[in-house]
């Protein structure tokens, strides 16, 4: 028995379709068929395709917000827990990846929120002695979130590279292991490049505030 309301059933079908084939390619007819209703009813409830998307955005963002709030509350800095939590919401995850890459406003808001939370959690981890303090904590948070989300957006290609199924347990294992190695040691044998960069930095002063104009134009 499906005790969800018809409206929420339509919305969930839309989240699934949008996440699977993207907003453009998904049609109201297909979504209606998936939810076992007529195309007209979809428009009756959500006004337009754009309205339907907004409802999906809101629901997915809220859903992720709830699960993340729990993690922040319990102060989880454990990467295993993070991975497990992400894997649980696969349809929402797919939807989110599509939205991020399509540049939907809701997805942008979520990206920013995750960066903020990541920064906060990193600070906790540093205090606890688990994480290494960064010279630019905000920049690092932005980069790590972009890497993590970006890799999810390219999950299909990573899976092919590993020779496993996308979103499978094996894939989680392989990605996790490789990520932990890189994030535990880095990839450079020494700090020659970092040092070189810092010298450039100090010489040219390419820091965010002053670099607004640049030279040529």
Which residues inside 28-47 make contact with a copy of itself, applying CB under 8 A? none
SS3 175: helix
Please answer whether residues 75 and 81 qualify as being in contact, where contact means their C-beta atoms are separated by less than 8 angstroms.
no
Long-range contacts of 24-29 (CB under 8 A, 24+ apart): 28/52
Question: Of DNA, a copy of itself, none, which one does residue 2 interact with (CB within 5 to 8 Å by kind)?
Answer: none
Candidate list 190, 202, 203, 217; residue touching a copy of itself; CB under 8 A = 190
What are the angstrom distances between the C-alpha of 6 and each of 16, 38, 62, 183, 194?
Answer: 15, 11, 20, 45, 56
Please answer whether residues 129 and 148 qualify as being in contact, where contact means their C-beta atoms are separated by less than 8 angstroms.
no
Count, residues in the chain: 217
Q: Is 47 or 79 the residue whose CB approaches DNA more closely? A: 47
26 in contact with DNA (CB under 7 A): yes
Candidate list 22, 40, 79, 150; residue touching DNA; CB under 7 A = 40
Name the nearest CA neighbour of 72 among 15, 144, 124, 139. 124
* End-to-end Cα distance, the chain: 66
Candidate list 7, 87, 101, 174; residue touching DNA; CB under 7 A = 7
Question: Of DNA, a copy of itself, none, which one does residue 13 interact with (CB within 5 to 8 Å by kind)?
Answer: none
The alpha-carbon radius of gyration of the chain (Å, integer) is 21
* Subset of residues 44 to 73 that bind a copy of itself, contact rule: CB under 8 A: none
* Subset of residues 138 to 177 that bind a copy of itself, contact rule: CB under 8 A: 138-147, 149-154, 156-158, 160-164, 169-170, 173-177
Q: Is 36 or 195 the residue whose CB approaches DNA more closely? A: 36
Least Å distance, CB 11 to DNA, is 12
Cα 58 from Cα 8, distance rounded (Å):
13
What are the angstrom distances between the C-alpha of 152 and each of 2, 23, 145, 178?
Answer: 31, 18, 11, 15
Candidate list 1, 66, 187, 203; residue touching a copy of itself; CB under 8 A = 187
Q: Is 12 or 119 the residue whose CB approaches DNA more closely? A: 12
Question: Of a copy of itself, DNA, none, which one does residue 173 interact with (CB within 5 to 8 Å by kind)?
Answer: a copy of itself
* Subset of residues 45 to 64 that bind DNA, contact rule: CB under 7 A: 45, 47-50
Q: Which residues bind DNA (CB under 7 A)?
A: 6-7, 26-29, 36-41, 43-45, 47-50
């Amino acid at each position: 028995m499906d005790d969800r309301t018809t409206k929420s059933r339509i919305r969930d079908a839309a989240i699934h379709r949008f996440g699977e084939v993207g907003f453009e390619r998904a049609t109201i007819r297909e979504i209606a068929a998936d939810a076992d209703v007529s195309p007209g009813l979809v428009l009756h409830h959500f006004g337009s395709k754009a309205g339907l998307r907004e409802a999906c955005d809101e629901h997915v963002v809220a859903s992720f917000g709830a699960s993340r709030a729990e993690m922040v509350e319990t102060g989880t800095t454990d990467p295993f827990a993070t991975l497990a939590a992400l894997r649980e919401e696969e349809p929402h995850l797919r939807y989110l990846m599509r939205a991020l890459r399509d540049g939907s406003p809701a997805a942008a808001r979520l990206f920013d929120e995750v960066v903020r939370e990541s920064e906060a959690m990193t600070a906790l981890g540093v205090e606890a002695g688990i994480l290494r303090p960064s010279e630019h904590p905000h920049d690092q948070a932005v980069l790590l979130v972009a890497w993590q989300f970006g890799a999810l957006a390219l999950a299909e290609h990573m899976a092919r590279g590993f020779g496993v199924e996308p979103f499978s347990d094996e894939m989680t294992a392989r990605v996790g292991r490789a990520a932990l190695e890189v994030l535990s040691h880095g990839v450079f044998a020494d700090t020659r490049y970092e040092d070189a960069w810092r010298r450039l930095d100090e010489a040219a002063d390419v820091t965010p505030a002053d670099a607004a104009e640049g030279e040529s134009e």
